[in-house]
Amino acid sequence: MDLRKEAERKVDAKIEFQESLYKYLIVNVLLAAISLLFFQSFWLLFFVMFFWGIGILEKFFKAYAFNDFVGPNYREKMINKEISKMGD
């Protein structure tokens, strides 16, 4: 994979994470206000925050933390590593 395409993939993953995080924050603030005004409890908010938060974490790890481990070149990197071990 050429360098430009790899950089584009990384930037797209970061932008996707940031957009998802903004949506997550806005929706949860609105849900908190609705829950406080109409239900006087936050069970719905915690339910949404927890499960949607798992998806946000997954996007974060793909964009920033584990990009080299779960990227499309991971298999190729592992093969090259094994070949270099066999040559020693």
- The model's pLDDT over 9-58, given as tens digits with 9 standing for 90+, comes to 888 989 999 999 999 999 999 999 988 888 887 787 888 899 999 999 99
Location of structure tokens 């006087």:
40
In the numeric block, which tokens belong to residue 42? 């936050």
Sign of CA dihedral 39, 41, 47, 50: positive
**Whole-prediction pTM:** 0.71
Q: What is the spatial distance between Cα 88 and Cα 84, in angstroms, rounded to a whole number?
A: 7
pLDDT given for residue 39 in this prediction: 85
Q: Which of 21, 18, 44 is nearest to 31 (CA)?
A: 44
Location of structure tokens 């994470």:
17
Check pLDDT > 70 for residue 70: no
Q: For residues 54 and 8, is the Cβ–Cβ distance under 8 A?
A: no
* Between residues 21 and 3, the one the model is more confident about: 21
